[in-house]
Amino acid sequence: MKATIIFLLVAQVSWAGPFQQKGLFDFMLEDEASGIGPEEHFPEVPEIEPMGPVCPFRCQCHLRVVQCSDLELGTNPLKSSGIENGAFQGMKKLSYIRIADTNITTIPQGLPPSLTELHLDGNKITKVDAASLKGLNNLAKLGLSFNSISAVDNGSLANTPHLRELHLNNNKLVKVPGGLADHKYIQVVYLHNNNISAIGSNDFCPPGYNTKKASYSGVSLFSNPVQYWEIQPSTFRCVYVRAAVQLGNYK
C-alpha cells in the first residue's frame, strides 16, 4: 500500500510541466494584480476633481496674477470718465493692472498702493501729473508707451520711490522728465521716439560721482531730434556700462 502511494506521488510530479523561472517583473505583476488573471481588467476609477479655487474660463492664472481675455481691461472702448475714482481701492493685494489700447486720457486716480506694475500703454494720455501717482510707494514698473504725453510734472516720480522701470517711449516729450537724477532706484528708462531736442548733464545723474543712486542698466534715447554728439560724456556717469545707452536716430 505504501509503495502504491509513493508511486502515485512520483507520477504526479513527473506529469507536471517543467519549472520555468519567472522574471522579477512577473512576480511584481502578480503581487499588484492581487490574483487578477491576464484576461481580466481593473475597474475604471472616476476622476477626482481638484480641490481649491479653479482658474476662470479662458484665463491664465499665475500665482497672484489672473490674466483673462479682455483683460485686464485692455482693448475695450473705455474712457477716463468710465473709471471712477478709487475703483480699485478695495483690492488691497492687487499688484498688477493693465489698461492698454483704450480711450483713456489720464492716469486713473486712487489706484491701490499695493501695485507693483502699472501698464497704460497705447492710450490717449497727454500728461503725467503728480497727483495721479501719489501713494504708489510699491510701484516698480510703469508703462506709458504709445500715448500722447508731452509733459511729466515735477514731483511725479518722487511719488513712486521704488520705481525701477519707466517706459515713456513713443510719446511727445520735448525734454527728459524731471526727477530722474534724484530717484534712488530707477534703472531702466525708455525715451525713444519722442521730441527731445536737448539733454542736460544732470538730467539722469546727480552731481558728482560718489552717490547712492542705483546705476542705470538701460537708457534708450534713439529716434529723438537731439544731436547726440552734443551730449556731454559726464551726462551718463551713473550708467552701469556705456553700452546700456542707446543714442542716434536709428529704429
- pLDDT per position as a tens digit, 16-38: 444 444 443 443 444 444 444 55
Q: Which residues contact 193 (CB under 8 A, 6 or more apart)?
A: 169, 170, 171, 222, 223, 224, 251
Task: Break the chain into its structural domains and give their ranges.
Answer: 70-250
Q: Confidence class of residue 144 from pLDDT cuts 50, 70 and 90?
A: very high
Query: pLDDT averaged over the chain?
Result: 79
Distance CA 132, CA 129 (A): 6
The SS3 of residue 32 is: helix
Contact call for residues 179 and 155 (beta carbons, < 8 A): yes
**H-run or E-run covering 67:** strand 65-68
The enclosing H or E element of 91 equals: none
* Higher-confidence position of 3 and 87: 87
Can you tell me the distance from the alpha carbon of 3 to that of 187, in angstroms, rounded to the nearest whole number? 102
Residue 80 makes CB contacts below 8 A (sequence gap 6+) with 103, 104, 105, 106, 108
The pLDDT value recorded for residue 208 is 75
According to the model, what pLDDT value does residue 46 have? 58
- What is the architecture of the domain spanning 70-250? Alpha-Beta Horseshoe (3.80)
**Residue 179's pLDDT is what?**
94
The residue with greater pLDDT, 29 or 248, is: 248
Which of 166, 110, 165, 120 has the alpha carbon at shortest distance from 147?
A: 120
* pLDDT of the residue at 72: 63
Amino acid 26: pLDDT: 44
pTM, rounded to two decimals: 0.70
**Residue 248's pLDDT is what?**
82
Across 65-79, 136-150, 177-191, 233-247, least confident range: 65-79
